[in-house]
Amino acid sequence: MALDDPHILKNIQTKLLIGGEWVDGVEGTTIAVENPYDGSKIADVAEATAADVDRAVEAAEKAFPAWRALAAHERGRLLLKLADRIEDEAAELARLEAIDTGHPIRDCLALDVPRTALCFRYFGGMADKLEGSVIPVDAGFLNYVEREPIGVVGAIVPWNFPLMFTSWKMGPALAAGNTVVIKPSEITPLSTLRIGELMMEVGFPAGVVNIVTGYGNTAGQRIAEHPRIGKVAFTGSTATGRRVVEASASNLKKVQLELGGKGPNILFEDANIPAAVGGSAFAIFHNQGQACIAGSRLIVHESIADEVLERFTALAKSIRLGDPLDPETEMGPLTSRLHQQRVLSFVEVAKGEGGQIMTGGKTPDGEAFAKGCFIEPTIVRAKPGDRVAQEEVFGPFVTVLTFKTEEEALAIANGTDYGLGAGLWTQNLTRAHRFAKQLRAGMVWINSYKRVHPASPFGGVGQSGYGREMGFEAMREYTQSKSVWINVDAQTPPFYRR
């Protein structure tokens, strides 16, 4: 590559943030971070081991008393300043995220960076808004409940939206008065490290935020099992989530899990077809389908199936694949070679189950795509019980199913172990409310899909995890209640008087 190549990043942070200092790992080893567009190495970041997590927890414990005691509006002020700095650095943050993850730069600029700033700003304003309550109890007593920070929070961030999920974890945790040890994915650590630099710039005290870049089976495992971490917040696969729960039992720490999904996206016979087709394409192909809330099961009423599939297939074929830094690119590469291979393996599974590959199912032709982790947008017709309609593929891979009745649509929609996001398209308002109520999901979108906002709770049920990101729900997730009783009569209860 030429030195002026736009894919080269300069002055990027590669060390661990512990106690306000950028340091190497104890063992001095590193992890290579690769560009999924062309396979080139972006950087070598420090590899955190269990010993480094221990150092980070010690720093977070040391910082906790002063951070907790800091006036809530002062904690909020720092988060607001951070949001401003993120907006100042929007172009460079978007470029960093695009190169590290394969997200198209247009999406990073329009969605990832603004949502990250918005999240920190929301919780900056929330810091001094969390209230306790007074409970009506027996005469002569005052009982009030206050919310207190948990202490040291361990956060484990996935590789699909590292910048955004960093804010989802740290925003409420810090606003509530906790200190944080956060581990980004070893595949995509760079934007989280840059957020750490911005936090130091705006004045976050040393040790309040600590960033450890390591592997899940070492650094992540130590966070989950650490006896002095009071809560772990994890986003990732359901299988890994189970291991986090097992490891957390060592000290019965609080656990929050945002796990996999197999989102049903139902199109009724009265759906606005052009809007539904466009929204359904966004639901599955945005970020190359690498989203837990992706609408990966397109469930269509048989009366409109032919028209929907014709339009949907044509749209999928028209999606522009290419260099994530090209503003015209609509879909970039998957984030790693290993994941590309995993998604392609499901194409073979679909064929083996008798599924019909309507488009895609392979890497795109052409030399421009040879080095990258690309997969064409893939549409497969299948049966509700097929593996490809039950298991999370986590790629630009959508399974098409049809139905005759509302009851059948509901049975298909609720027919997996997951329960994260779901969508439905109809012009019948009564049906929309009725059907939304019956869907087994933590979030339901009507005549839209994948809408998120810092004020709206985000999370799932079943094998999609428990706990909620965002909003007042998130502030409760990062605090614990304390009930305080006062005898306002200042007398001994009657049955103990002499």
Task: Encode pLDDT of 197-212 as tens digits.
Answer: 999 999 999 999 999 9
Active-site hit among 34, 186, 258, 477: 258
Residues 151 and 297 in one domain: no
Report pLDDT for 427.
97
Q: Is the pLDDT of residue 228 over 90?
A: yes
Confidence band (pLDDT; 50, 70, 90) for 7?
confident
Residues 342 and 298 in one domain: yes
Assign residue 391 the CATH number of its domain. 3.40.309.10
d(CA 263, CA 445): 11
d(CA 431, CA 429): 5
List pLDDT tens digits, range 400-433. Answer: 999 999 999 999 999 999 999 999 999 999 999 9
Global model pTM greater than 0.75: yes
Q: Does 97 participate in catalysis according to the annotation?
A: no
Of residues 387, 52, 405, the one with CA closest to residue 213? 52
List pLDDT tens digits, range 341-377. Answer: 999 999 999 999 999 999 999 999 999 899 999 999 9
Report pLDDT for 458.
98
Which residues span the domain enclosing 176? Answer: 16-258+468-483
Output DSSP code: residue 296.
-
Residues 40 and 144 in one domain: yes
Confidence band (pLDDT; 50, 70, 90) for 4?
low
Active-site hit among 108, 119, 292, 373: 292
Report pLDDT for 497.
60
Confidence band (pLDDT; 50, 70, 90) for 2?
low
Q: Say how many C-beta atoms besides its own lie within 10 A of residue 278's C-beta.
A: 14
- DSSP structure string for 31-78: EEEE-TTT--EEEEEE---HHHHHHHHHHHHHHHHHHHHS-HHHHHHH
Residues 359 and 408 in one domain: yes
Angle at 19 between CA 231 and CA 218, to 5 degrees: 55
Q: Report yes or no: 433 and 427 within 8 Å, Cβ to Cβ.
A: no
Q: Report yes or no: 294 and 283 within 8 Å, Cβ to Cβ.
A: yes
Residue 307 forms part of a structural domain: yes
Q: Report yes or no: 20 and 205 within 8 Å, Cβ to Cβ.
A: yes
d(CA 468, CA 479): 13
Residues 182 and 222 in one domain: yes
Residues 241 and 341 in one domain: no
Residue 426 forms part of a structural domain: yes
Could you tell me what percent of the chain has a pLDDT over 90? 95
d(CA 308, CA 313): 8
Token pair of 406, please? 């509302």
Report pLDDT for 6.
82
**Buried-state track 402-422, b at ≥16 Cβ within 10 A, e below 16:** bbeebebbbebbbbbebbbbb
Q: Say how many C-beta atoms besides its own lie within 10 A of residue 256's C-beta.
A: 22
List pLDDT tens digits, range 291-325. Answer: 999 999 999 999 999 999 999 999 999 999 999 99
Residues 326 and 373 in one domain: yes
Q: Is the pLDDT of residue 187 over 90?
A: yes
List pLDDT tens digits, range 58-77. Answer: 999 999 999 999 999 999 99
Q: Does 353 participate in catalysis according to the annotation?
A: no
Residue 438 forms part of a structural domain: yes
- Counted domains in the chain: 2
Residues 24 and 85 in one domain: yes
Assign residue 203 the CATH number of its domain. 3.40.605.10
- Once rounded to an integer, what is the mean pLDDT over residues 38-48? 97
